[in-house]
Structure 1
């Protein structure tokens, strides 16, 4: 496994991107709206990984709720670990009694297959397992 990305919930995507570009020289390499998650994602390459800046498209979506709970501020929403076979990994974790949000993979940004491990299992951190599509170049 390696870190695929760090998901950062932001109240305003354009303001967040302005900081990353002007202060850190980092540009977004793409954007996507993920209807299932009620979020718009900006992909910001960062070495062999990337930052995924997430802005809610609806206050009742997971990112909207996170930002509200975080008093309107940005914050780390999740860390994603890349795996080779997400279905097998979720099955292995489930069989070993790990508390999962997703027992089967679902669609994630960039065409990835994803599944979340419940924060109860990790001591409070939301972990995402991520299998990138075949031939995917995240840079």
Structure 2
């Protein structure tokens, strides 16, 4: 079902400072920036590598306000890993399969994600405490 780790989402207070850190420290390059009103974030995708299953990224997330999911995460836990996203060939089918195994779905159907992808989230309490995202690349 999983083709790769698509990205690791990292919550941060200041997107520009965190981008500069990852560029300077790890020689990563920003390949996309987006404001996602639905999710309440400003984000940047930094390319790590390409593999047989597709590319992998670091996704930096700055909340648009404190009352968004990422804003609440930062207030409670501080900066750090917010979620792990796995690439799948078909998000709708993956949701059906995973939901059929008793895992609670935060999204019943796919929605808009970064760089034109389709995404959905799984309930962290059913996945070992890890917020898990499923990502279908736009070319699939």
Tell me the TM-score normalized by structure 1. Answer: 0.91
Contact 2:35–2:41 (CA<8 Å) still a contact in 1? yes
Aligned pair partner of 2:75 in 57, 68, 74? 68
Unaligned runs of 5+ in 2: 51-55
2:32/2:115 contact within 8 Å kept: no
Please list every run of 5 or more consecutive structure 1 residues that lacks an aligned counterpart in the other structure. Answer: none
Q: Tell me the alpha carbon deviations over residues 42-83 of structure 1, each in whole angstroms, 9 at most, x when there is no partner.
A: 01001131000000011111111111111xx32100000000
Q: Is structure 2 residue 110 aligned with structure 1 residue 105?
A: yes
Q: Deviations over 1:7-27 (max 9, x none)?
A: 001111011011112222222
Aligned length: 133
User: What is the alpha-carbon distance in structure 1 between the residues aligned to residue 24 and residue 91 of structure 2?
Assistant: 36
- The answer as to whether partners of 2:29 and 2:46 remain within 8 angstroms in 1 is yes
Query: Is 1:59 the counterpart of 2:66 in the alignment?
Result: yes
1:55-134 equivalences under 5 Å are: 55-70=62-77, 73-134=78-139
Q: Deviations over 1:70-129 (max 9, x none)?
A: 1xx321000000001110110111122111111211111111111111011111001100
| 8 Å CA contact retained: 2:43, 2:59 | yes
> Take 1:104 and 1:30, find their aligned partners in 2: how far apart are those partners?
24
CA RMSD of aligned residues (A): 1.2
